[in-house]
Chain A
């Protein structure tokens, strides 16, 4: 059984209407930030969730943890229906499901010391009998993530971005969780520091038997560390599958264009790439039919009117596109 199962999960935000607008029948605006997502995460794997800003990937991660209450859908973690939990049950579940944030500056309370920040979960869940015991646990996890014992009583502003991200990781791991949502944990960091944090996250996963939902906009990072990949566009998953399959044989035109857009050091000189027309459409007013059709070089009439259904295209590999059967590829040199 999967560790985490997400079924038909949606998170819609309703726009604000004034009383006058309500009475005069101005329609309610709805942003479908996350729309009918199905996915599973197996114990011990890393599921990479990739997409551009505004595609709803962070909202999905937060909706799974009920940091943002889902509008509809069901999240099952280790046999427990998370979406049905009451306040006490949810609090107990928080010990097992954690999150690491993108911004190492905003995610730490500036008025708390490292020991207080990292020790908070122990206090909230009563995981340490005495203060001394709590301090010892905090010191141990901080040392494991690469902080020094004499830094425990310092404040966040006394640390660099990379060190702060280590504090955030220690906070997420101190309660011995099983599942972590990593929400762009390395996007705000310098290249050399990024590599340190990625290496640390992979080591910790091995040592503690963790499972990650790794959210990123960087296909290089996802391609390096994920076992499986889900590609999101405007609140929906357009393609999902084993990382090797996605990298070698991406089937959705959006995945293909995403991959061709990434500048890589291994490809010196310019190469031909898929040109996507225009920008991401407004999620307030998404295109009808296939949401990608406004930018898709392969769009045909059917794409404008009907939303494609998700089809299996290989072992564990699925995509949602009307033209899958034609086996088209936008990428040069890729077998069509």
Chain B
């Protein structure tokens, strides 16, 4: 068994729209080690969510995975049939969505929704009858207990709208974890939540990861969340990875001008009285991108050399960034 759980190479996901072809994910490499927490940071349109819905085989029409290999636990996910892929989803890889209210089915009780996943994937259950129902029930109670929902027995009978926002997020995590997946993809798990609740949910994910030994991909726009909870971070911009490496190094000493700009533009009490230095301009239109550095139009350190395609370069041990300045700095 290798240390690498998920290995994505050269992923390209395109959306055919009326206005033209949108390349939402363009040549993205992702590796997730066993037991690791990878943070994926980016703004809207960076492709961070599409990358992982591609991994899950959940890209909606008119989008499709165009190129690349997705290897998970030694299997090539792109070669799987839809039925085989369904078996992988939920059992081996689980995903939680940003908006728990719409992601949960309002017409089913929480218990029924957890049971659904167990029915579909859990092969350790007794084949049928009362024993099977009892086993499902016991597992459901165990899952709600795991995510810190008190009096789980009673709450299984309640509907999603009877829970608060933070509780719903916990329930979604409970459903995702019902079959003990090897990888949990949490897509903006706390964006819709208040800070005090956000802190609870993030600690919960970290605790469960440590206890179950699974890997977590935390998709977020909040560098603060990444700083506190992730081992490694991957920064995305306009459909590409622009920088990746161990969290402390990337945040402490960012190499790519975009990461630098992003960190400099976070308002925080420590910067009081100093002018904030925002990244000027906007994310480029993903239709008809020129083959050049995608950050060119907003970069303060751009040169004519940036007008050629820029590849990822090594920026130290375990670190890579997509900027031509890197070799100059290190040379």
Contacts and interface: CB of A to CB of B under 8 A. Distances in A.
Whether the complex brings A and B within 8 Å at their CB atoms is answered yes
Interface of A: 52-53, 160-163, 190-196, 198-199, 202, 217-221, 223-225, 243, 247, 257-258, 260-271, 273, 275-276, 279-280
Contacts of B197: 52, 279
B247 interface: yes
B268 A195 contact: no
A263 B166 contact: no
Contacts of A196: 265, 278-280
B194 A53 contact: yes
B194 A280 contact: yes
Interface stretch (B119-127, B133-141, B221-229): B221-229
A8 to B, nearest CB: 27
B7 interface: no
A52 B192 CA distance: 11
Contacts, number: 136
A247 B196 contact: no
| Most chain B beta-carbon contacts within 10 A, residue among A190, A218, A219, A275 | A190
Contacts of A258: 195-196
Q: Chain B: interface secondary structure?
A: helix
B308 interface: no
Contacts of B195: 52, 217-219, 258, 261-262
Interface in B200-228: 200, 202-203, 206, 221-225, 227-228
A275 B261 CA distance: 32
A225 B262 CA distance: 18
B263 interface: yes
Interface in B265-309: 265-272, 275-280, 282-283
Q: Which 6 A-B pairs have the closest CB atoms?
A: A223-B269, A195-B265, A263-B224, A195-B278, A224-B267, A190-B43
A276 B221 CA distance: 24
B279 A269 contact: no
Contact of B261 (A192, A198, A266, A269): A192
Given A190-B221, A265-B263, A52 B194 contact: yes
A68 to B, nearest CB: 22
A257 B165 CA distance: 19
B43 A265 contact: no
A267 B221 CA distance: 17
B251 interface: yes
17 contacts: A160-B282, A191-B43, A191-B265, A192-B262, A195-B265, A195-B278, A196-B278, A219-B269, A221-B267, A223-B269, A261-B198, A263-B227, A264-B224, A267-B227, A268-B251, A270-B206, A280-B194
Given A220-B269, A223-B272, A261-B195, A195 B227 contact: no
A291 B102 CA distance: 30
Contacts of B43: 190-193
Contacts of B222: 191, 263
Nearest to A220: B268
B248 interface: yes
B80 interface: no
A192 B268 CA distance: 14
A82 to B, nearest CB: 31
B228 A271 contact: yes
| Most chain A beta-carbon contacts within 10 A, residue among B166, B261, B266, B275 | B266
Given A195-B279, A220-B268, A266-B270, 6 more contacts: A52-B194, A53-B194, A192-B43, A195-B265, A263-B225, A265-B251
B2 interface: no
A195 B229 contact: no
B277 A195 contact: yes
A225 B227 contact: no
B74 interface: no
A224 B265 CA distance: 11
Contacts of B167: 279
Contact of B279 (A52, A161, A192, A261): A192
Contact of A279 (B164, B198, B252): B164
B228 to A, nearest CB: 5
Interface in B40-82: 43-44
B199 interface: yes
A162 B282 contact: yes
B228 A224 contact: no
Given A224-B268, A225-B267, A192 B278 contact: yes
B165 to A, nearest CB: 8
A192 B264 CA distance: 9
B54 to A, nearest CB: 22
B170 to A, nearest CB: 11
B263 A52 contact: no
A190 to B, nearest CB: 4
A265 B266 contact: yes
Nearest to A264: B224
Nearest to B251: A265
Contacts of A243: 269, 272
Contacts of B277: 195
| Most chain B beta-carbon contacts within 10 A, residue among A195, A223, A273, A276 | A195
Contacts of A223: 267-269, 272
A334 to B, nearest CB: 14
Nearest to B225: A263
A196 B251 CA distance: 21
A269 B226 CA distance: 9
| Most chain A beta-carbon contacts within 10 A, residue among B167, B248, B268 | B268
Interface in B65-115: none
